[in-house]
């Protein structure tokens, strides 16, 4: 048995014990969950957030002994799904996995129907996923220098796919275009799951999307990968340079994901959800799949309501400044 496998298995045993203590709780707390839990993904099925959420849901299902069912409510950069979560009963039976777009929505959407901080219980961060600059397989450029030259030469007619205004894929491309001083035409989808299908079939030219959605397709040659958007290279796509190291020094964007619920959960339900999330982030299957897709769980200290709230508030401030400087609105 390999050292990695043995470490993963002993992690599993520890996680099961933790599950028993943390989720067993008191007699009163045993009532939750007594029926299936709905986990809303505010993006289409088959995309990167969906992939992360389904891994977490599968592990939570084992922990709770109740099914955690993923419901995809995509559209409008995730704001339709998150509005549904904000309006749901705060009983722990509706929760959501979403990402960085929770922090960009206030700056991008005038008249947003919910308060991204005040209308939610913040349960914990999950993972910080690197992104990749990719293109359809038939595009001529062979490396990062060539794709940048191609985008510059073809701006005006070049097209990029994204998961709606304010989504991670949109944000990443906005920053990239700003850095390069170019404009390309955006094509919006309800998530980068369906966008990826269209990139593979060649409907549009380029996209910036999470490694959790691009790794397999880059490896299989269905799309071309040019660079990663993190400061460090990514193990799942070792051949890709960082944008920071060459073409665009300082470039850094990644898509952090987290678990939310409507504001007002009973304390024992919050505790059980946070405990189940911590167990999921030690689950050998989750760790193995995350690693294969180029990501890993955040540090355990980040898997907490207080840490997520603080982080979200700082991200809202950070992106407000960037988005205002870029002059972008959801109607753009």
| Bond into 226 cis (ω within 30) | no
Binding to ligand ASP by residue 38, rule CB under 6 A? Answer: no
Give whichever of 129 and 273 is closer to ligand ASP, judged by the CB atom: 129
CB of 291 to ligand ASP, least distance (A): 19
Determine which residue in the list 19, 32, 48, 83 makes contact with ligand ASP, applying CB under 6 A. Answer: 48
Give whichever of 211 and 270 is closer to ligand ASP, judged by the CB atom: 211
The CA angle 17-289-95, to the nearest 5 degrees, is: 65
Binding string, residues 73-112; x marks residues near ligand ASP by CB under 6 A: ----------------------------x-----------
Rounded CA separation 325/322 (Å): 5
Contact window for ligand ASP (CB under 6 A) among 39-47, 58-66, 113-121, 151-159: 39-47
Rounded CA separation 37/104 (Å): 27
Rounded CA separation 87/35 (Å): 20
DSSP designation for 233: -
Binding to ligand ASP by residue 295, rule CB under 6 A? Answer: no
CB of 155 to ligand ASP, least distance (A): 21
List Cβ neighbours of 62 (8 Å cut-off, separation of 6 or more): 283
Binding to ligand ASP by residue 302, rule CB under 6 A? Answer: no
Rounded CA separation 8/4 (Å): 6
Contact window for ligand ASP (CB under 6 A) among 16-24, 84-92, 163-171, 246-254: 163-171
CB of 319 to ligand ASP, least distance (A): 13
Binding to ligand ASP by residue 168, rule CB under 6 A? Answer: yes
Go through 139-164 and write b for each residue having 16 or more CB atoms within 10 A of its CB, e for each that does not.
bebeebeebbebbeeeeeebebbbbb
Binding to ligand ASP by residue 127, rule CB under 6 A? Answer: no
Instruction: Answer whether 66's CB lies under 8 Å from 212's CB.
Output: no
Site for ligand ASP in 169-228 (CB under 6 A): 169, 191-193, 209-210
Give whichever of 45 and 275 is closer to ligand ASP, judged by the CB atom: 45
Could you tell me where the DSSP H helices lie in the chain? 3-24, 48-64, 79-87, 101-108, 144-154, 168-180, 192-200, 211-219, 267-280, 284-292, 305-326
Binding to ligand ASP by residue 230, rule CB under 6 A? Answer: no
Give whichever of 135 and 169 is closer to ligand ASP, judged by the CB atom: 169
Give me the residues that bind ligand ASP (CB under 6 A), please. 43-44, 47-50, 101, 162-163, 167-169, 191-193, 209-210
């Amino acid at each position: 048995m390999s050292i990695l496998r043995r470490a993963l298995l002993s992690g599993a045993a520890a996680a099961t014990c933790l599950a028993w203590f943390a989720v067993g709780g008191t007699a009163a707390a045993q009532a939750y969950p007594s029926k299936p839990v709905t986990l809303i993904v505010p993006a289409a099925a088959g995309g990167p957030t969906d992939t992360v959420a389904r891994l977490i849901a599968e592990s939570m299902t084992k922990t709770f002994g109740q099914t955690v069912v993923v419901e995809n409510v995509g559209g409008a950069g995730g704001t339709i799904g998150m509005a549904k979560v904000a309006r749901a009963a705060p009983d722990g039976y509706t929760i959501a996995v979403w990402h960085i777009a929770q922090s960009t929505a206030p700056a991008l959407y005038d008249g947003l129907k919910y308060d991204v901080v005040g209308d939610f219980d913040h349960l914990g961060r999950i993972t910080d996923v690197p992104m990749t600059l990719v293109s359809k397989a038939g595009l001529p450029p062979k490396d990062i220098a060539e794709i940048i030259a191609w985008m510059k030469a073809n701006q005006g007619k070049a097209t990029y796919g994204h998961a709606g205004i304010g989504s991670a894929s949109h944000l990443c491309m906005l920053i990239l275009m700003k850095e390069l001083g170019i404009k390309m035409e955006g094509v919006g989808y309800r998530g980068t799951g369906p966008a990826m299908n269209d990139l593979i079939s060649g409907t549009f030219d380029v996209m910036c999307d999470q490694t959790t959605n691009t790794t397999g397709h880059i490896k299989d040659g269905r799309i071309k990968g040019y660079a990663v958007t993190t400061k460090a290279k990514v193990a799942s796509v070792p051949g890709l340079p960082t944008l920071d190291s060459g073409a665009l020094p300082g470039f850094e964007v990644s898509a952090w994901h987290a678990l939310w619920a409507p504001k007002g959960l009973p304390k024992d339900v919050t505790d059980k959800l946070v405990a189940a999330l911590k167990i999921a982030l030690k689950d050998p299957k989750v760790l193995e799949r995350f690693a294969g897709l180029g990501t890993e769980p955040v540090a355990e200290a980040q898997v907490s309501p207080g840490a997520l709230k603080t982080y979200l508030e700082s991200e809202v401030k950070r992106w407000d400044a960037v988005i205002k400087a870029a002059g972008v609105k959801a109607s753009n």
